[in-house]
């Protein structure tokens, strides 16, 4: 599919930190097929010493001794200032305990190894980091490719990015839409579900997890109650199971169920989640609609655009201090609400789908500190919004 030469921002950020010799483990986390491995190769190419690389992304994940073997390879070349890179490290059972023991031994010396870990499951990484490596790491996020990056690397236009999404390795196939969709389904969706979720988590109903993902992909940016999902999904169990599976899909950077903002804060239980896919390719590949058909259907395209806005927020605002939610009371709705300790941003996405007007005005009358933003006709143009880091919209 061609070699990706575009350099993502995480490369310069991680490389600069590694070169400073900080006594911390460096970690890059992000979805599959967005360039984490490529970024590590680019970091390795600019490293001033030898590089020891290894990947745990195997059908049968290696045991903790695998980490010690790679670590010793780097230790044996310590005098040459080596960089140790371990990819998909979360696949190794007990990885964080092994890394902790080896790293703590390193800290007794004057010059600890430079270590870079990569992972595609935020849930497993976060568990290991919280339990064993607290205070020992520096985290870098490598999200799905946004419009600005796709435009720069492939000269793609906005509509094609909205449809084909942000998986750079798949762009060579976009002229053959059936092949592109098959690649996304088989090499990305199934791989993530089968190897990043089902193999690494306790999932009592694997078929339900897949059905939940497909259901959400057919209803992007829709607010759907758990009870309605229970009626649509076979052997759905209960709302607790669905909420758990949504959390697993979110940790794999596939799908998030946004919570509703209420007067007293976010309602964590019982509210109807807003289903947002992290990459529009996940929507288009399973929708059965080709690019021309999708673009010609105003109602569907409105959903595509609205999901892309939510995905842009999720990919750009991972971690604290940002919360991405939605708001609805009766027929009044605000598509997305972003909250920080100091700011409240209310976003309405203008599209062709009909809705009761004045949701944004009603929200701002209730939350007077809120900053309103219209994305689309009559507000910030789509191309400008998708080219802007949302953190800039929250400055002030």
What is the per-residue burial (b if ≥16 Cβ within 10 Å, else e) of 105-119? ebeeeeebbbbbbbb
Q: If pLDDT is split at 50, 70 and 90, which confidence band does 271 have?
A: confident
- CA atoms of 337 and 348, how far apart (whole Å): 9
**Which of the four CATH numbers 3.30.360.10, 3.40.50.700, 3.40.50.300, 3.40.47.10 does domain 9-141 have?**
3.40.50.300
pLDDT at position 125, please?
Answer: 64
323-362 pLDDT, tens digit per residue, is 999 999 998 999 999 999 889 999 999 975 555 568 999 9
281-332 pLDDT, tens digit per residue, is 999 999 999 999 999 999 999 999 999 999 999 999 988 799 999 999 998 9
Contact 195, 254 (CB under 8 A): no
> Domain ranges in the chain?
9-141, 192-393
pLDDT at position 100, please?
Answer: 93
Question: Alpha-carbon torsion 286, 288, 290, 292, what sign?
Answer: negative
- CA atoms of 120 and 154, how far apart (whole Å): 24
Contact 129, 27 (CB under 8 A): yes
Contact 259, 266 (CB under 8 A): yes
Return the percentage of the chain with pLDDT > 90, whole number. 68
Tokens 């990056």 -> residue: 149
Give the closest residue to 272 by CA, choosing from 233, 315, 242.
242
pTM: 0.90
């Amino acid at each position: 599919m061609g070699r990706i030469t575009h350099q993502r921002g995480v490369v310069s950020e991680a490389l600069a930190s590694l070169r400073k010799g900080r006594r911390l483990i460096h970690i890059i986390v992000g979805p599959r097929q967005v360039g984490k491995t490529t970024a590590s190769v680019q970091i390795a190419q600019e490293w001033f010493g030898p590089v020891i690389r290894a990947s745990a992304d195997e059908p049968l994940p290696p045991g903790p001794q695998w980490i010690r073997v790679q670590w010793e390879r780097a230790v044996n070349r310590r005098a040459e200032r080596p960089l140790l890179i371990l990819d998909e490290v979360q696949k190794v059972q007990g990885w964080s305990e092994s890394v902790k023991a080896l790293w703590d031994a390193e800290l007794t010396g004057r010059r600890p190894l430079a270590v870079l870990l990569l992972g595609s499951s935020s849930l497993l990484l976060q568990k290991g980091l919280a339990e064993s490596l607290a205070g020992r790491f520096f985290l870098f996020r490598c999200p799905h490719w946004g419009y600005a990056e796709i435009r720069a690397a492939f000269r793609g236009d906005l509509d094609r990015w909205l449809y084909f999404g942000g998986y750079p390795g798949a762009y060579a196939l976009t002229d053959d839409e059936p092949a592109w969709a098959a690649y996304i389904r088989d090499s990305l969706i199934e791989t993530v579900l089968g190897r990043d979720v089902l193999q690494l988590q306790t999932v009592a109903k694997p078929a339900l997890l897949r059905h939940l993902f497909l259901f959400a992909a057919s209803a992007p940016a829709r607010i759907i109650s758990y009870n309605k999902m229970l009626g649509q999904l076979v052997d759905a169990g209960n709302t607790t199971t669905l909420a758990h599976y949504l959390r697993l899909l979110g940790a794999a950077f596939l799908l998030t169920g946004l919570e509703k903002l209420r007067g007293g804060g976010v309602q964590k239980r019982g509210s109807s989640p807003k289903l947002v896919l992290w990459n529009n390719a996940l929507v288009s590949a399973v929708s059965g609609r080709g690019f021309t058909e999708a673009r010609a259907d105003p109602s569907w395209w409105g959903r595509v655009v609205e999901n892309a806005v939510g995905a842009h927020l999720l990919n750009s605002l991972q971690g604290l201090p940002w919360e991405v939610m939605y708001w609805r009371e009766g027929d009044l709705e605000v598509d997305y609400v972003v909250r920080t300790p100091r700011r409240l941003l209310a976003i309405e996405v203008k599209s062709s789908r009909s809705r009761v007007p004045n949701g944004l005005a009603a929200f701002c009358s209730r939350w007077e500190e809120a900053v309103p933003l219209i994305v689309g006709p009559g507000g910030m143009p789509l191309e400008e919004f998708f080219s802007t880091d949302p953190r800039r919209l929250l400055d002030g």
